[in-house]
């Protein structure tokens, strides 16, 4: 499984790269802020919501610290998706955060 640091992801966000980010945290965690443009799919809902994803795209998967996102990235990979785990998660994120 591929992984990326939060600093590397932030550089891609700042550069305006077209990114597909999935935030697998729970609703109350996401209320504290998320990466702009991220799609919220709680880890427990991922199996039933993969139909919302495009297998031709690469997904950066983030959670609070990196554990749940690693599980989600493994799940996506095993189901034909390209994924990258964001090491450190939102606990390490120092970039722009949106709320709501």
pLDDT tens track, the chain, 100 positions: 899 999 999 999 999 999 999 999 999 999 999 999 999 999 999 999 999 999 999 999 999 999 999 999 999 999 999 999 999 999 999 999 998 6
Residue ranges covered by each domain of the chain: 2-92
Radius of gyration of the chain (CA): 12
Q: How far is CA 43 from CA 13, 50, 52, in A?
A: 23, 11, 14
Give the SS3 label for residue 58. strand
Active site residue 63: yes
Query: In CATH, which of 3.40.250.10, 2.60.60.20, 3.30.110.30, 3.20.20.120 is domain 2-92?
Result: 3.40.250.10
Whole-prediction pTM value? 0.96
Among the options 63, 73, 84, 86, which is catalytic? 63
Average pLDDT in the chain? 96
Q: How far is CA 70 from CA 12, 73, 96, in A?
A: 20, 5, 22
Residue 48, phi then psi, degrees to nearest 5: -85, -5
Share of the chain above pLDDT 90, in %: 97
């Amino acid at each position: 499984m591929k992984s990326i640091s939060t600093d590397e992801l932030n550089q891609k966000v700042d550069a305006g790269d077209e990114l597909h980010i999935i935030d697998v945290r729970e609703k109350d965690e996401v209320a504290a802020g998320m990466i702009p443009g991220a799609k919220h799919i709680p880890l427990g809902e991922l199996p039933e919501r993969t139909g919302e994803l495009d297998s031709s795209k690469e997904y950066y998967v983030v959670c609070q610290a990196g554990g749940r996102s690693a599980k989600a990235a493994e799940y996506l990979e095993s189901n034909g998706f390209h994924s990258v785990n964001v090491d450190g998660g939102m606990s390490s994120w120092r970039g722009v955060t949106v709320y709501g």
